[in-house]
């Protein structure tokens, strides 16, 4: 959603690309209409969208927006419906 309007994306294989211009504010709405579990990985501009735990010498910190390869991005579990 951009400015309260749905913007259509373009599929390339299993990847969905949605163009956004500089300065536009967007929301991601993701729904699973299937009757089965669906797994997805979500990167925005190559950045991980989920906080990632990192431990260094006994101190636990969370990194937000870490640049990762899609194959290394965490999986999101989208339950049925």
Cα–Cα distance measured from residue 15 to residue 9, given in angstroms and rounded to the nearest whole number: 10
For the chain, the maximum distance between any two Cα atoms, rounded to a whole number of angstroms, is 46
Domain-wise residue ranges, the chain: 10-78
Instruction: Give the pTM.
Output: 0.63
**In angstroms, how far is CA 47 from the centroid of its own chain?**
8
Q: Is the pLDDT of residue 16 over 90?
A: no
**What is the pLDDT at residue 63?**
86
Compute the C-alpha angle 16/19/20, nearest 5°. 130
Cα–Cα distance measured from residue 79 to residue 59, given in angstroms and rounded to the nearest whole number: 33
Structure tokens at 11: 């599929």
Structure confidence by residue, pLDDT tens digits, 43-75: 888 888 888 888 778 888 888 888 988 888 888
Q: Is the pLDDT of residue 5 over 80?
A: yes
**What is the pLDDT at residue 37?**
93
Cα–Cα distance measured from residue 34 to residue 55, given in angstroms and rounded to the nearest whole number: 37
Percent of the chain with pLDDT over 90: 16
């Amino acid at each position: 959603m951009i400015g309260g309007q749905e913007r259509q994306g373009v599929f390339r294989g299993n990847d969905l690309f949605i163009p956004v211009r500089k300065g536009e504010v967007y929301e991601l709405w993701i729904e699973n209409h299937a009757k089965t579990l669906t797994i997805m990985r979500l990167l925005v501009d190559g950045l991980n969208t989920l906080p990632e735990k990192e431990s260094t010498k006994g101190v636990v910190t969370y990194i937000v927006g870490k640049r990762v390869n899609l194959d290394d991005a965490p999986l999101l579990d989208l339950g049925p419906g």
